[in-house]
Structures are given as C-alpha cells and as structure tokens.
Amino acid sequence: MPEEVKKIQEIITRIPYLAAENAFVFVVGLVLLAIILSGFLFYQYGYLVVRQEPISQSELEFKQEVFQGILDEWKEREKASLDVKASNPRNIFQSKSID
C-alpha cells in the first residue's frame, strides 16, 4: 500500500514539470478546455432556454395572501424603526457628575 501511494505522489509531483516541458501543448489543451466549457454553458443557458416551452400561466399566478403578508411585515418593521427613532437614547459618552 505505501508503495502505491509513493507512485501516485511521484506522478502528481511530475505533472508541473511535464506541463512546463510541454508548455505549448498544455496551453492549447487549456484553451480547448475553456472552449468546450463555454460551449456547454452556452448550450445550457442560451440555446436550450430559447427552445423550451414558455412557463404555464399557473406558475406565474399572483399570490395575494403572500404579498399581503410581506406588506404587513414591512409595516411592522417600519413602525418598529420609527419607535426606535422616536426614543431618546442615553448618551454613553457624556460623563455624569455625582454631586
């Protein structure tokens, strides 16, 4: 088992040297990899999206109760922030003189 690990470690440590010795081939391989990856991404997010059927009307339905819940939460937060603004906080930087 330790011999196999050493062999794998030797192969891994030789990879940068092989890439440096064959720099042109390595760079061409990276460019091809980038072209293939960008082609795949374009296919997934550009081409397939145009060809798919539009979303049905039921998925785009406006949910009034959810919207009303969000509006109520916003009103509660606005009221809480106004209450904080209206309160007169204690100034911790002003020294009190004890007489």
Local confidence band at 98 (pLDDT 50, 70, 90 cut-offs): low
Tokens of 89: 């906080």
For residue 47, the model assigns a pLDDT of 76
The answer to whether position 98 is within a domain reads no
Local confidence band at 84 (pLDDT 50, 70, 90 cut-offs): confident
User: What percent of the chain has pLDDT above 90?
Assistant: 43
Q: How many domains does the chain have?
A: 1
The answer to whether position 18 is within a domain reads yes
The answer to whether position 75 is within a domain reads yes
Tell me which of 77 and 82 has the higher pLDDT: 77
How far, in Å, CA of 2 to CA of 8, rounded? 10
Query: Lowest-confidence range among 24-28, 44-48, 82-86?
Result: 82-86
HEC sequence for the chain? CHHHHHHHHHHHHHHHHHHHHCHHHHHHHHHHHHHHHHHHHHHHHHHHHHHCCCCCHHHHCCCHHHHHHHHHHHHHHHHHHHHHHHCCCCCCCCCCCCC
The answer to whether position 33 is within a domain reads yes
- Domain range enclosing 11: 2-52+61-86
The answer to whether position 28 is within a domain reads yes
Local confidence band at 54 (pLDDT 50, 70, 90 cut-offs): low
The answer to whether position 97 is within a domain reads no
The answer to whether position 17 is within a domain reads yes
Local confidence band at 8 (pLDDT 50, 70, 90 cut-offs): very high
The answer to whether position 96 is within a domain reads no
